Amino acid sequence: MNNKVKLQVAGTVCGLIVLCIALAWLIPAVEAPSIEAPSVEAPSKEQAFNLEQFIDPETCGGCHDEIMAQWQGSMHHLSHKDPVYTRVAKFYLQGLTDAGHIAEAESCVKCHTPVGYVTGFPKKVSDEFSKVQDIPAQGIQCDYCHTAVNLSQMYNNGFMLSPGQGEDDPGIKYGPFDDAEPEFHDAAFSKLHTDSKICGTCHNVKHVAFGTDLETTYTEWEKGPYNSPDPEKHVSCQGCHMYQRPGVPATGSTPRPENPGSATPDAKQRPHIFTHYFVGANSGLPQMFSDQEKSDMAVARLRHAAEISLEMEKEHTVRVVVSNTGAGHSLPTGLTDMRQVWIELTLADNDGNVVFQTGVPDKNNELPANTVIFNTIFGDGKGNPVINIAKAKEILSDTRIPVGKSAAHLFELNPTPQSGYTLTARLLYRSMPQKILNQLPGEPIGPLPVVEMAAVTKIF
Ligand code: HEC
Ligand code: HEC
Ligand code: HEC
Ligand code: HEC
Ligand code: HEC
């Protein structure tokens, strides 16, 4: 029986539409445990499941203890509870009247609370977040990623799921092994899980009404050298982010050694167990949850992402070059309307007194307007900059540095450096401007940590 016929049979047998959709997607999944290349053009189909079908991450952690400990407190675990996210999301909704703006501002939960979205609550940001059940509140979790069988699109979370029926009948968990035979659940190899696409479908964000590219991490990677057809040179998202562990930053400029071990204390030894810390550049959020280890890992990642150099062009003109040497995508990536990577330049005289400086936050912790920042600025469609992504109709400026590329900037020094003067250029990172944090209602957030990514000094 082909899938179409099966779908019709399922359609006549079951009465509940919700159940039908769930069944319709279960059938092909059982037949095809190894995943074919996802079809990116396929139209987005909305799936619906019962919350009882999803298993608490704690249960998975009962056997997969190390993986659980790594994922716990990760940004994926915190994707729904992250106070920066929830407050920005609720804030963006305020005062909107345009239907397109509202549609976007309501859409965040599809990625940030994905188990809730596919099981009916929350469906939108205006839903009461305090009523979100315990399992969906645990964000992007084991039983969400490991029940994915296909993707409907390469942006805005195109996951097609085939979950089991809860703990009594956990179903198939899809992963990188083709010989796993666990007792609790069934297991199957999934090519999708070894592919950057499984990350990219959420790490490419488009405005739901205007189509504006809000985040393009997957596309940046896809166009870059790490998406090489040569398997020796190909480095997937997992190849950096799921190799990182304390002491092993695993970036493009550092070794990425395998992590031998086992998936449970009793399972067989494997040459590599993919780590689940999912650390990017955010060192502030783990700190808010007292997770110093993940905070340090984010700093380690940032310190192996870029290089900075300086060269005098004229007596008083310096050329500063920043190179993206360690990221698998642009620098910065993700939410680049908020993320700030900038150049700080300091000239000190023979006694160490600062005689010239640029790129230093003012007393309100805001960067001066003339600071060289690598980021994106969205516009409202008429050339006016907007902070609220719900209103983003166009990209006004884009100074992200692509993979392996450099950006050069000239600075005029005043006074002209004399013999014995010291010039220091630093590349700094913080995950959000104070200006946005200050606008959020409620207890103030911040100041967020500023991380030195790279620095260079010249003595005249
Ligand atoms: C964001 C999606 C995502 C989440 C959340 C996630 N995993 Fe994974 N996991 C993966 C991917 C992708 C791989 C395989 C990577 C590859 O082959 O390139 C993997 C691999 C595994 C493996 C195989 C062993 C290994 O690590 O190599 C196990 C077991 C596993 N995950 C269990 C878990 C458990 C338990 C949780 C929750 C505590 C979890 N995963 C959360 C995506 C995820
Ligand atoms: C298609 C999936 C997707 C959707 C939809 C989505 N996000 Fe995100 N969001 C992400 C990803 C991926 C990141 C991580 C990127 C990064 O760290 O730069 C993220 C990170 C964030 C952060 C940063 C959190 C922090 O602690 O720094 C905020 C804030 C945020 N999103 C707000 C929103 C809001 C508001 C909406 C709805 C208007 C939204 N997101 C919709 C995928 C999504
Ligand atoms: C009773 C113990 C136990 C529990 C509970 C458990 N697993 Fe497993 N799981 C295993 C064992 C054993 C393996 C096989 C490991 C191997 O072969 O290296 C495994 C393998 C896996 C794999 C790899 C599959 C493959 O073929 O690549 C994934 C993914 C996975 N588990 C996810 C989960 C998720 C998600 C949960 C919670 C819903 C979970 N596991 C709960 C014992 C368990
Ligand atoms: C279901 C959607 C989804 C999938 C699938 C997904 N992510 Fe994420 N990811 C997010 C969201 C949303 C956040 C931000 C959560 C928050 O606001 O705290 C995030 C955060 C991250 C971060 C931390 C970013 C930072 O600012 O430090 C990293 C690293 C990351 N993801 C890597 C991956 C990798 C690697 C994969 C594939 C194995 C993957 N993600 C799959 C949605 C997803
Ligand atoms: C060659 C190694 C490498 C690969 C491959 C790679 N990354 Fe990264 N990633 C990094 C480094 C280094 C950083 C820290 C610098 C930065 O923020 O760009 C980072 C940061 C991030 C961040 C946090 C960005 C921010 O500033 O908020 C996210 C999200 C992320 N990566 C997701 C992904 C996804 C998704 C993929 C695959 C499409 C991927 N990465 C592939 C090295 C890599």
The residues spanned by each domain of the chain are 1-31, 38-304, 305-459
Cis peptide bond upstream of 415, omega within 30: yes
Q: Whose CA is nearest to atom 9 of ligand 4?
A: 76
Looking at the structure, give the CATH architecture of the domain made up of residues 305-459: Sandwich (2.60)
Task: Please name which of 28, 267, 60, 31 lies closest in space to residue 144, comparing C-alpha atoms.
Answer: 60
Q: Whose CA is nearest to atom 8 of ligand 1?
A: 142
Instruction: Find the angle CA(160)-CA(165)-CA(170) to the nearest 5 degrees.
Output: 90
Give the model's pLDDT for residue 45.
Answer: 63
Three-state secondary structure readout of 19-83: HHHHHHHHHHHHHCCCCCCCCCCCCCCCCCCCHHHCCCHHHHHCCCHHHHHHHCCCCCCCCCCCH
Q: What dihedral angle (degrees, nearest 10) is formed by the CA atoms of 17, 18, 22, 27? A: -10
Q: How far apart are CA 344 and CA 355, in angstroms?
A: 14
Give the model's pLDDT for residue 444.
Answer: 84
Q: How far apart are CA 380 and CA 251, in angstroms?
A: 36
pTM, to two decimals: 0.93
- Residue keyed to tokens 């019709």: 8
Q: How far apart are CA 152 and CA 180, in angstroms?
A: 27
Pocket perturbation via mutation, ligand 3, pick of 173, 242, 275 by most ligand atoms within 8 A of CB: 173
- Residue keyed to tokens 């030894």: 269
Ligand 5: centre distance to CA 292 (Å): 20
Q: Whose CA is nearest to atom 3 of ligand 2?
A: 111
Ligand 1: residues with CB < 6 A are 57, 60-61, 64, 67-68, 71, 76, 140-142, 145-146, 175-176, 193-194, 198, 238, 242, 263, 273-274, 276
Name residue 410's beta-bridge partners: 319
DSSP letter at 299? H
Q: What dihedral angle (degrees, nearest 10) is formed by the CA atoms of 281, 286, 291, 293? A: 0
Ligand 3: residues with CB < 6 A are 55, 59-60, 62-64, 142-143, 146, 170, 173, 175-177, 180, 182, 184-185, 187-189, 262-264, 267-268, 270
Q: How far apart are CA 59 and CA 72, in angstroms?
A: 13
Ligand 1: centre distance to CA 43 (Å): 27
From the DSSP assignment, how many helices (H) and strands (E) are in the chain? Answer: 16, 17
Amino acid, single-letter form, for residue 182: P
Cis peptide bond upstream of 114, omega within 30: no
Give the residue ranges of the chain where pLDDT is below 50. Answer: 1-43
Q: Tell me the chain's radius of gyration from C-alpha atoms.
A: 24
> Per the structure block, which two tokens stand in for 96?
């909107």
> Percent of the chain scored above 70 by pLDDT?
90
Per the prediction, the chain carries an average pLDDT of 91
Q: How far apart are CA 192 and CA 443, in angstroms?
A: 42
Q: How far apart are CA 259 and CA 57, in angstroms?
A: 22
Ligand 3: centre distance to CA 60 (Å): 7
Q: How far apart are CA 8 and CA 13, in angstroms?
A: 9
Give the model's pLDDT for residue 393.
Answer: 98
Task: Tell me the Ramachandran region of residue 420: left when phi exceeds 0, alpha when psi lies from -120 to 50, beta otherwise.
Answer: left
Name residue 409's beta-bridge partners: 320
Three-state DSSP at 172 gives: strand
Q: How far apart are CA 270 and CA 261, in angstroms?
A: 5
Alpha helix ranges (H) inside 79-201: 83-93, 99-106, 109-112, 114-118, 134-137, 142-145, 197-200
> Per the structure block, which two tokens stand in for 154?
């390469």
> Percent of the chain scored above 90 by pLDDT?
88
